[in-house]
Amino acid sequence: MTDKRPLLRTIFDAAVAAAHPDVVLSAHLRPVPKGRVICLAAGKGAGAMAAAAERYYLDQLGLAPERLQGIATTRHGHGVPTRRIKMIEAGHPVPDEAGLKGAEQSLQMAADARADDLLLVLLSGGGSANWIAPVEGVSFAQKQQVTRALLRSGAPIGEVNTVRKHLSRIKGGRLARAGQRAEIVTLAISDVPHDDPSAIASGPTVPDPTTLADARALVARYDLKVDDAIGRALNDPNNESCKPGDPAFARAQYELIARPKASLDAAIKVAATAGYAIIDLGADLEGEAREVAADHARLALKAQAEGKRVAIISGGELTVTVRGNGRGGPNQEYALALADLLKNTSGIAALAGDTDGADGGAGSASDPAGAIIDQATFAKMKSLGLDPKAYLDNNDATAFFTATGDRLQTGPTLTNVNDVRVILVDAV
């Protein structure tokens, strides 16, 4: 069988390239205002977005440098050189002190914005962790603890953000409230299923439909062990997020500049050009990674049994309910579950990767983006005596794919439009 790894990587890279800030941002930037351009960026694409904004305003439009200022807070390893916009690299998925400083400085800069300024807010996935501003009465350590508990619970990202928004002074529309004297333009790269603006970076500049009661219900549903201070904060009416009709949004505009579906379409185009019939499962899949993998394995085996040559392509954001103490992320766990289910087959190869370049992990720029599996994986499993079920039980997909040599290593991609999963099925 022909090696499908180069094609799998080409499909994945096409999805990433379609959402890169250098490609998608400049067409959406606004003209120079009477006053200053104040750029506040957060997320894994924040560095590249800020640099693209600098090129547009300083080089293309000739804006005087002193009229452009700002702060970009991104994940460690995702920063890029900038001229006027300060670059801060911060923790993700668990916030750190750098993110705390980035959020405080961003709130202050927004509050200092005047009526003739443009407050340009550039958002991408990861902004929720990068901008950390706990409400009064909640310590930084307590906010970190509740974030860890949420991440381990298996809750979908929208539910995670519902809790985070009600423990924050910047999320849930509060950045817009801080900067409401200025014109506010938010340009966002979507990393959430269904492209909900209130979920992207926890919606710092848009109304929030969720409530304190919703957040309390989620803490109870997932039986989260949180400090008493968290409970008090979620019962304090002062911590309710901004709702539609709030004056904070009187001069606020919001635009999505890149969506997961567009990236998935780019991936589909490459696979179709390579001669595969497409099974498009959509850009909004959610669910437990190993359960989704089981569904997709059945689909692949059925197609092969029918003699079909297909590419099964999906996006969205899967979750992992952590029960073990290993390392990994939803894409690696999905790939590991696939490897277990397909190990006795030939003619099937798959890739699962996070378009930001890091799948779970400890927040390091060297974390894998996901994994690739094929016949070589199955042979290595057998020769090394690896039991994928044991690794699944310990949520230790990274160790498994380190042993087989199948980690997908891309490094920071400087964007984030969720996950891309591709299964190539050939007749045997």
CATH code at position 107:
3.40.50.10180
In this structure, are 198 and 323 located in the same domain? no
In this structure, are 64 and 128 located in the same domain? yes
In this structure, are 381 and 248 located in the same domain? no
In this structure, are 108 and 126 located in the same domain? yes
- Give pLDDT < 50 ranges for the chain: none
262-300 pLDDT per residue, tens: 999 999 999 999 999 999 999 999 999 999 999 999 999
In this structure, are 327 and 411 located in the same domain? yes
Question: Residue 204: what pLDDT?
Answer: 98
In this structure, are 410 and 275 located in the same domain? yes
Question: Residue 428: what pLDDT?
Answer: 84
Query: Does 188 map to a domain?
Result: yes
Query: Does 235 map to a domain?
Result: no
Tell me how far CA of residue 294 lies from CA of 279, 352, 387, in angstroms: 16, 14, 17
Question: Residue 1: what pLDDT?
Answer: 61
In this structure, are 176 and 284 located in the same domain? no
Query: Does 213 map to a domain?
Result: no
Query: Does 226 map to a domain?
Result: no
* pTM of full prediction above 0.85: yes
In this structure, are 364 and 418 located in the same domain? yes
How many Å apart are CA 166 and CA 216, to the nearest integer?
A: 10
Range of the domain at 124: 21-133+168-207+242-258
Query: Does 100 map to a domain?
Result: yes
139-190 pLDDT per residue, tens: 999 988 998 898 888 888 889 989 999 999 999 999 999 999 999 999 999 9
Beta bridge partners, 278, equal 311
Query: Does 179 map to a domain?
Result: yes
Query: Does 351 map to a domain?
Result: yes
The total number of structural domains in the chain stands at 2
Exposed/middle/buried for residue 345 (C-beta within 10 Å: 0-12, 13-18, 19+): middle
Contact 372, 351 (CB under 8 A): yes
Query: Does 221 map to a domain?
Result: no
In this structure, are 405 and 275 located in the same domain? yes
In this structure, are 252 and 323 located in the same domain? no
CATH code at position 351:
3.40.1480.10
Q: Which of 270, 34, 21 is nearest to 124 (CA)?
A: 21
Question: Residue 427: what pLDDT?
Answer: 87
Question: Residue 207: what pLDDT?
Answer: 98
Question: Residue 376: what pLDDT?
Answer: 96
In this structure, are 387 and 249 located in the same domain? no
Question: Residue 188: what pLDDT?
Answer: 98
Among the candidates 258, 292, 321, a domain finishes at 258
In this structure, are 44 and 99 located in the same domain? yes
